[in-house]
Structure 1
Amino acid sequence: MIPFPEPTSPAGSRAEVFLRYLDYFRESTVAKVSAMAEPELRRSRLPSGWTPLELLKHLRHVELRWIEWGFQGRDVAEPWGDRHEDRWYVAPDETRADLVAALRAQGAHTTEVVTAHDLAEIGAPGPRWNGADPASLERVLFHLVQEYARHLGHLDVVAELAGGPTGE
Structure 2
Amino acid sequence: MAEPSRQLSDPRELLEGYLDHYRGEILRALDGFPEPEVSQVPSGWTPVAMLKHLAYMERRWFVWDYAGEPVEDPQGDRDDEGRLVTSESFEQVKEFYLAQCERSRQVVAEGRLSDRASRIGRFAPPKEPPTLGWIMFHVLEEYMRHAGHLDIARELAGGPQAAR
Question: Would you call these one fold, judging by a TM-score over 0.5?
Answer: yes
AA at the equivalent of 2:2? P
Alignment check: 8 A CA contact 2:37 2:90 kept: no
Per the alignment, residue 72 of structure 2 pairs with: 77
1:163 CA drift (Å):
1.6
Deviations 1:86-112 (A, max 9, x none): 211011xx1211111211111111111
Partners of 1:155 and 1:9 lie apart in 2 by: 29
Q: Secondary structure at the match of 1:88?
A: coil
1:67 corresponds, among 62, 66, 80, to 62
Which structure is higher in helix share?
1
Structure 1's consecutive aligned runs of 4 or more residues displaced over 6 angstroms after TM superposition are none
Per the alignment, residue 113 of structure 2 pairs with: 119
Q: Secondary structure at the match of 2:122?
A: helix
Number of matched pairs: 161
2:98 corresponds, among 101, 104, 112, to 104
Alignment check: 8 A CA contact 1:66 1:128 kept: no
Q: CA RMSD in A?
A: 1.6
Partners of 2:121 and 2:108 lie apart in 1 by: 21
Cα separation, partners in 2 of 1:58 and 1:82, compared to 1, 3 Å: farther
Alignment TM-score, normalising by the size of structure 1 = 0.88
- Does residue 88 in structure 1 map to residue 88 in structure 2? no
Q: Which runs of 5+ in 1 are unaligned?
A: none
Matches within 5 A, 1:6-155: 6=5, 8-10=6-8, 13-37=10-34, 40-85=35-80, 86-91=82-87, 94-129=88-123, 131=125, 132-155=127-150
Partners of 1:53 and 1:162 lie apart in 2 by: 13
Alignment check: 8 A CA contact 2:25 2:147 kept: yes
Alignment check: 8 A CA contact 1:53 1:90 kept: yes
1:126 CA drift (Å):
2.2
2:161 corresponds, among 135, 141, 166, to 166
Alignment TM-score, normalising by the size of structure 2 = 0.90
Q: Which runs of 5+ in 2 are unaligned?
A: none
Alignment check: 8 A CA contact 2:62 2:108 kept: no
1:44 CA drift (Å):
1.4
